[in-house]
Amino acid sequence: MTNKPIPYGRQNITQKDIDAVVEVLKSDYLTQGPQIAAFEKAFAEYVCSKYAVAVANGTAALHLCTIALGVQPGDIVITTPITFAASANCVRYAGGDVIFADIDPKTYLLDLNKVEEILKKEKNVKGFIPVDFAGRAVDLEALRKLADRYNCWIIEDSCHAPGGYFEDSEGQKQLCGNGQFADLAIFSFHPVKHIAAGEGGMITTNDEKLYKKLLTLRTHGIIKDDASFKNSVDIAYGKQLETLNFKPETFPGWYYEMQYLGYNCRLTDFQAALGNSQLKQADEGLKRRNEIAQTYFDTFKSKPFIKGQSGVVEGHAYHLYVVEVENRKELYEHLRANNIFAQIHYVPVHLMPYYKQFGWKNGDLLVAEKYYSQCISLPMFPTLTNKEQEFVINCINNFYNNK
Ligand SMILES: *Cc1c(COP(=O)(O)O)cnc(C)c1O
């Protein structure tokens, strides 16, 4: 085989992206400069949320969200097993317990009926972390109704779905991360995701209180705003008031307070510049992803070896194009032999040895486990050429025709 390797996903870095990064490297700020605020503003506009907080990566975004929402030991949070482990791990970071609810076999997303079954049995459920898996938007309107009935919050894990949306009951487009139904939403800028910054993440919300809390949690829980200080002015000067030879009324310029146990989850300015530059081509990428999906769908819709597929769905952001097939292992190896690096998303999180120690086992979530036994993610990225996609399709067809 002489064709160039075809991965399941890859970034597309343009000269404009490179120029944007170089400009920051020549500027006064490598971190905590003007690029962060510019990226946050542009990203909030892109997903139609009020606020956005840039952080070091998607996992840090999830972590700060569970801390900001006050997850504690004894709290239960529901998520899907068909996701990257970080969607569940963030609950453990805060000391909470994870319950995995099974997925819907058609959408591959959290099955709301299964979520409700858990809510009826468990008293301590505090929130849900739905995942817009593969780029398909969760129906957050329906999930919000459930959340309100049980007094739960929602963190939307939108790592796969910037630009994705669902239509609500009034026919309105609801963009992933727009904060209409979820309390918080998170995104990742890892190179396999839509917008690449090397590493990077974003939290979006419409809740001002959570927004302000997240800003401080991002930098050690430190506050620099005079009006919010808790200590009195004398402590800020380092002396007892009676020993000062003047009567201070305002805090000195250097003073700051650490009010919460925060972290260093900052993004650098050059990453923010790259992310912001990438964001400008996000819509174009989304359009191309939709074309690729349409071609896969049309090709595979009547094939007997296809047991299920991502399909053509309005508002799908197609981070992945998943097909469910017979003889998955052999197909995976056949594709590899042809330099096509399809991937499996995901090994169900409840079957990870770490989660098995809490009692999770094979057979607990039958829909997710069956999906896992036959899923494979085909190459899906904006720079995939028609010829390359044709090659992938021919390889798959040949594999099954020759069986
Ligand atoms: C990539 C991803 C994450 C984690 O993002 P990082 O930036 O890699 O930390 C979390 N959830 C999902 C669904 C992801 O795909």
- The answer to whether the beta carbons of residues 259 and 244 sit under 8 Å apart is no
- The answer to whether the beta carbons of residues 252 and 232 sit under 8 Å apart is no
Q: Whose CA is nearest to atom 15 of ligand 1?
A: 159
User: Which whole number is the average pLDDT over 77-96?
Assistant: 98
Residue 270 CA to ligand 1 centre (angstroms): 20
Q: Is any atom of ligand 1 closer than 6 Å to the C-beta of 133?
A: no
329 burial via Cβ count (<10 Å: 0-12, 13-18, 19+) = exposed
At 151, the pLDDT band (50, 70, 90 cuts) reads very high
Residue 342 CA to ligand 1 centre (angstroms): 18
Q: What is the pTM of this model?
A: 0.96
Where are the strands (E) in 104-152, listed by range? 125-129
Looking at residue 2, what is its pLDDT? Answer: 59
User: Which whole number is the average pLDDT over 314-338?
Assistant: 97
At 157, the pLDDT band (50, 70, 90 cuts) reads very high
Q: Is any atom of ligand 1 closer than 6 Å to the C-beta of 160?
A: yes
Q: Is any atom of ligand 1 closer than 6 Å to the C-beta of 190?
A: yes
Residue 94 CA to ligand 1 centre (angstroms): 18
Q: What percent of the chain has pLDDT over 90?
A: 93
Position 245 pLDDT exceeds 90: no
- The answer to whether the beta carbons of residues 388 and 340 sit under 8 Å apart is no
Q: Is any atom of ligand 1 closer than 6 Å to the C-beta of 262?
A: no
Helix (H, G, I), strand (E, B) or coil at 21: helix
Q: What percent of the chain has pLDDT over 70?
A: 98
Position 181 pLDDT exceeds 60: yes
Choose one of 190, 202, 274 to mutate for the ligand 1 pocket test, by most ligand atoms within 8 angstroms of C-beta. Answer: 190
- E strand or H helix that includes residue 98: strand 97-100
Residue 17 CA to ligand 1 centre (angstroms): 22
Q: Whose CA is nearest to atom 6 of ligand 1?
A: 58
Q: Is any atom of ligand 1 closer than 6 Å to the C-beta of 157?
A: yes
Q: Is any atom of ligand 1 closer than 6 Å to the C-beta of 188?
A: yes
- E strand or H helix that includes residue 89: helix 86-93
The 10 Å CB-count burial string (b at 16+, else e) for 44-79 is bebbbbebbbbbbbbbbbbbbbbbbbebeeebbbbb
User: Which whole number is the average pLDDT over 102-114?
Assistant: 98
Q: Is any atom of ligand 1 closer than 6 Å to the C-beta of 59?
A: yes
Looking at residue 238, what is its pLDDT? Answer: 82
Each residue of 278-287: pLDDT tens digit? 999 999 999 9
User: Which whole number is the average pLDDT over 23-31?
Assistant: 95
Position 242 pLDDT exceeds 90: no
Position 370 pLDDT exceeds 80: yes
Residue 253 CA to ligand 1 centre (angstroms): 39
- The answer to whether the beta carbons of residues 271 and 228 sit under 8 Å apart is no
Q: Is any atom of ligand 1 closer than 6 Å to the C-beta of 87?
A: yes
Looking at residue 235, what is its pLDDT? Answer: 87
Q: Is any atom of ligand 1 closer than 6 Å to the C-beta of 83?
A: yes
Domain annotation for the chain: domains and CATH numbers: 6-220+262-280 (3.40.640.10), 222-258 (no CATH), 283-401 (3.90.1150.10)
Residue 352 CA to ligand 1 centre (angstroms): 17
Q: Is any atom of ligand 1 closer than 6 Å to the C-beta of 82?
A: no
- Which residues are within 8 A (CB) of 319 and not within 5 positions of it... i.e. 6 or more apart? 9, 134, 135, 159, 160, 161, 193, 194, 289, 380
Mean pLDDT of the chain: 96
Q: Whose CA is nearest to atom 3 of ligand 1?
A: 58
Residue 401 CA to ligand 1 centre (angstroms): 36
Position 1 pLDDT exceeds 60: no
Residue 22 CA to ligand 1 centre (angstroms): 26
Choose one of 79, 80, 109, 188 to mutate for the ligand 1 pocket test, by most ligand atoms within 8 angstroms of C-beta. Answer: 188
Position 115 pLDDT exceeds 70: yes
Residue 30 CA to ligand 1 centre (angstroms): 24
Each residue of 200-236: pLDDT tens digit? 999 999 999 999 999 999 999 999 999 999 998 888 8
Nearest ligand 1 atom to the CA of 61 is 9
Position 240 pLDDT exceeds 70: no
Looking up tokens 């010829």, which residue turns up? Answer: 387
